[in-house]
Structure 1
Amino acid sequence: MTAFTRSLAALVSCALAAGGLAAAGVAALRPETAQASSHREAPLISGQPQYDTTDVYGFVSPDKPDTTTMVVNMLPFEDPAGGPNFYKFAHDARYDLHVDNNGDGQGDLLFRWTFKDHLRNGDTFLYNTGPVTSLEDPDLNFFQTYDIELIQLKDQHAVSRKKIAKNQLVAPSNVGKASMPKYQDLRDQAVYQLPGGGSTFAGQADDPFFLDLRVFDLLYGGDMSEVGQDSLKGYNVQSLALQLPTKMLTESEQQPVIGMWSTTHRKTANGDWAQVSRLGSPLVNEVVIPRKDKDKFNASSPWDDAQFLKSVQDPELARLVEQIYKIKAPPTPRDDLVQVFLTGVPKLNQPPNVRPAEMLRLNTSIKPTASPKRLGVLDGDNAGFPNGRRLTDDVLDISLQAVEGELVGKKNDLGDAVDENDQKFGGSFPYLAVPNSGSDATATKKSAGESLLNGGDGVGSSSDDTMLLAGSAAGGGGAVLLLALGYAWWRSHRRPARVRRH
């Protein structure tokens, strides 16, 4: 063990002993014991997607450099055509974003989102009963509203609470072009200004994380043959975005570094709140924390991260790369990765008197660049990951290269050949790309659809088909839908062989 590592371990132990959680009065602000995030990264949370945080982003706003933007995404792998019950935030959850502005590993500011469901007509299965042209359109049958509470903390005690947003409307799922002909208008309407400055957005978005997830097939097939495909292309997520004046988040101009992480709590059967998801830096729980500790990590807090120190100092991924690709792993213990994931990098984003704790650390005094480099700090762009995380940062390539020793002089070009998102990001808040439309997830060719409308079955046509659909058309829009559904059921039961041809 090096002198740096001994000092680190001692610092963690002292901090844990001196900074223990206060007991009474803060049960709602600390995780209850629970054994429950990136995309499906821990066993228990993979079965609770509404509560599963996929990614956290934090960056100095490129068009408003006196503000900081924070984004938290959840509910991975949303298929755009996944109706009739489209996607929503959980109404029985607390989605929390924590900000540590003095480096002690504990939250000083907590932003809490809570959601309410609203249903206009329970006598229909439809998400929308006609084209939706505004967030208040009565044709949007199901919608959500949300509140944001700002809780200021000291030693995990709440010293003040204030609602900074109330009953704001959520941008709906992008059902399709017929249902939402101008979805960008709905997105724009879901951006709200906050009192005192800042903006908020909640709703569906294109998943901004870009990578080839076939890394789990023995590191891209064992011979790098499985790279270059964005596994998240075409999928959406539920997104929370908050843009605030930077001076509201930092301790002072002299200490501009903030750390951030998200947690999700849900109610247990006995009415208590249990933490089921936690995420700071990308990929930590996914490829640094071993399986036996993944659920424990999701239920833990950064100030208890001494228990995961060994996984950071001796990462399994480096040993796997060495085993499969014969690229020599750097010697352990990995003090360079301790800086990336636990303390921040000196002279970049490490706060003074830092307490080692896993979170996304951002030096807000580093101004954004007009031409961001996807490899961030590794390519000389100090405004990017691991100094915070921008939407354009290629965190998989950065993490792979860092794990193989890029920061300690072992140059390498490891990567998944997916260098950017499939959709362009916006130039203003919330910066996220609009969600993929259900219209784009077509299962049949246009000619087949036209054949159905003309009385065929998508492959050919017959006179009895034409008569059935022609008769239903005379009964109005509702009758067309009901008879078409009945006709589809009849076909699937009477002539399954023809249905299988689609």
Structure 2
Amino acid sequence: MSSHREAPEISKDPVADSTDLYAFVSPDKPDTVTLIANYLPLQGPDGGPNFYEFGDDVLYEIHIDNDGDGRADISYQFEFTTTVPNKNTFLYNTGPIEALDSPNWNRRQTYSVTRVESPGRCAELGRGLSCPPCNIGPLSTPDYPALAASAVHALGNGRSVFAGQRAEGFYVDLGAIFDLGVLRPFANLHATFGLPGLAKMPGVNSTARVNVHSIALQVPITELTRDGHRATSAADPRAVIGVWTTASRRKAVIRQDEAGHDIEYGAYTQVSRLGNPLFNEVLVPMARKDEWNALPPADDKAFAPYVAHPELAGLLPVLYPGVFPHLAALDAAKTARADLEAILLTGIPSGVVPGFQNYTGDTQADMLRLNVAIAPTKNPNPLGLIAGDAAGFPNGRRVADDVVTVELRAIAGATYPLIDKTYTPDAAVGAITDGLTAADVPSGYLPNFPYLGVPYSGYTTA
């Protein structure tokens, strides 16, 4: 998955597990950027009686680098507080929840938002902001869309924020991909290892009808760029920002004090991060995934060899014999994949793709890079830049972008001609997919903030 349960340690800590990150110029408010960080993966909508919530003991952050050094120039911090008004019931709610201040709702979360600018200037943008409850069912949350909409809060200066449950917008065929790299539409071409062959078939969306928790923030473009600059040309270096999200915990915990509570103390230490989708999931070896989660993007030079020589590029010709001969030769030559290094670690410089760049400099850092001078596309193509839509991934990431297909094709060699025009990708590369599109997301997406769909109801869980 994009980053769901992608490393051994964070898979045991779902409230701190960053699952997806989105950054895009808002289509309905193009003078703003929308940033969405998702946590708590694979939520069963009927997962009561203790429904899902953010961690009071986790510091959630969305970071912006606007000078290309892989370090945060601006960070937005989110801290949550849970209260239980009625301590004499086991119930999450004792009747319909029709408003955020309903006395029937018995486990509430509020949060604060703080903007931090290096070197340490802080401004609290909001406090006591209500999250919505989880979408339980027609009796408990009878008009959930309206209830959730009331949890969109204005923060002043054109900012909006939402934190709460959303439908999972990322689509991927986990069951097939993790069965030795099967892509169902091409399963008949997969190596059988002496076992009965597989039949090709449409993809199956493993994340259909599960929920996540989203932190969504919409802010003016000029709040994120270097010196508050509003670039009008995509070629302007100041138009590009790098984005990533992190979750941190206190360094030490005392379990079960005299009152039966855990006590956390010490400085925060990072336990999860996410920039580009699938980076830690697909590129970093298992033995180093936890290490990667604890480091800032500025230290990613140590992981650059896994981008320059991705394991999956060597596996595809083995898993699909005879389908990727050109990729096999490229991998056998141990040729560094400068195309992938540009896409994932430095951004694409001017002159590579006509009229486009999202280059942040020589520092190799896994960040989601967004050129804010590129206007939203009226009819977005989910394949983004490789399909000629410069407003989509890897120029930031929109909620419906098909990042699995884009990255599969890039690793398979589709983007290598950008840096070596003599290379011809294998014929199959342009057709690679796990067989899914945004149409396979049952909830759909919203046309406005926070863009991800209404979470699936526990009552209607299939």
**Fold agreement, TM-score > 0.5:** yes
> How far, CA to CA, are the matches of 1:362 and 1:303 in structure 2?
17
Give the aligned residue type for 2:452. Answer: L
Counterpart mapping for 1:345-494 below 5 A: 345-347=348-350, 348-351=356-359, 353-409=361-417, 410=425, 411-420=429-438, 421-441=441-461
Give the aligned residue type for 1:426. Answer: L
Q: SS of the residue aligned with 1:237? A: strand
Question: Which residue among 261, 279, 282 is the counterpart of 2:244?
Answer: 261
Aligned to 1:472: none
- Pick the structure with more helix per residue: 1
> How far, CA to CA, are the matches of 2:448 and 2:93 in structure 1?
29
Alpha carbons of structure 1 residues 335 and 145: separation in structure 2 relative to 1, 3 Å: same
Give the aligned residue type for 1:229. Answer: V
CA drift of 1:103 comes to 1.1
CA drift of 1:352 comes to 5.4
Give the aligned residue type for 2:247. Answer: T
Aligned to 2:216: 241
Aligned to 2:90: 125
Q: SS of the residue aligned with 1:269? A: strand
Question: Which residue among 128, 131, 135 is the counterpart of 1:170?
Answer: 131
Aligned to 1:217: 179
Alpha carbons of structure 1 residues 413 and 274: separation in structure 2 relative to 1, 3 Å: same
Alpha carbons of structure 1 residues 241 and 101: separation in structure 2 relative to 1, 3 Å: same
Q: Which sections of structure 2, spanning at least 5 residues, go unmatched?
A: 191-197, 254-264, 351-355, 418-424
Counterpart mapping for 1:23-422 below 5 A: 38-153=3-118, 157-158=119-120, 160-213=121-174, 214-220=176-182, 222=190, 225=200, 228-251=203-226, 252=229, 253=231, 254=236, 255-269=238-252, 271-272=265-266, 273-326=268-321, 327-328=324-325, 329=327, 330-331=330-331, 332-347=335-350, 348-351=356-359, 353-409=361-417, 410=425, 411-420=429-438, 421-422=441-442
Aligned to 2:353: none
| 1:419-459 alpha-carbon deviations (Å, 9 max, x no partner) | 112222111111110100001125xxxxxxxxxxxxxxxxx
> How far, CA to CA, are the matches of 1:193 and 1:172 in structure 2?
19
> How far, CA to CA, are the matches of 2:178 and 2:337 in structure 1?
23
Give the aligned residue type for 1:208. Answer: G
User: Superposition RMSD on alpha carbons, in Å?
Assistant: 1.4
> How far, CA to CA, are the matches of 1:350 and 1:381 in structure 2?
14
Which stretch shifts more, 98-107 or 49-58? Answer: 98-107
8 Å Cα contact 1:349-1:361 kept in structure 2: no
8 Å Cα contact 1:44-1:295 kept in structure 2: yes
> How far, CA to CA, are the matches of 2:63 and 2:100 in structure 1?
29
| 1:150-207 alpha-carbon deviations (Å, 9 max, x no partner) | 0001xxx31x100011110001110111111100111110001111111000000001
- TM-score relative to the length of structure 2: 0.85
Q: SS of the residue aligned with 1:97? A: strand
Q: SS of the residue aligned with 2:171? A: coil
> How far, CA to CA, are the matches of 2:220 and 2:345 in structure 1?
26
Alpha carbons of structure 1 residues 309 and 353: separation in structure 2 relative to 1, 3 Å: closer
| 1:76-126 alpha-carbon deviations (Å, 9 max, x no partner) | 010000000000000001001110011111110000000000111111111
8 Å Cα contact 2:111-2:127 kept in structure 1: yes
Identity of aligned residues (%): 43
> How far, CA to CA, are the matches of 1:75 and 1:181 in structure 2?
24
> How far, CA to CA, are the matches of 2:63 and 2:360 in structure 1?
19
8 Å Cα contact 2:346-2:361 kept in structure 1: no
Give the aligned residue type for 2:345. Answer: L
Give the aligned residue type for 1:258. Answer: I
Q: Which sections of structure 1, spanning at least 5 residues, go unmatched?
A: 1-36, 443-502
> How far, CA to CA, are the matches of 2:55 and 2:200 in structure 1?
39
Q: SS of the residue aligned with 1:438? A: coil
8 Å Cα contact 1:102-1:351 kept in structure 2: no
- TM-score relative to the length of structure 1: 0.78
What is the total number of aligned residue pairs between the two structures?
A: 402
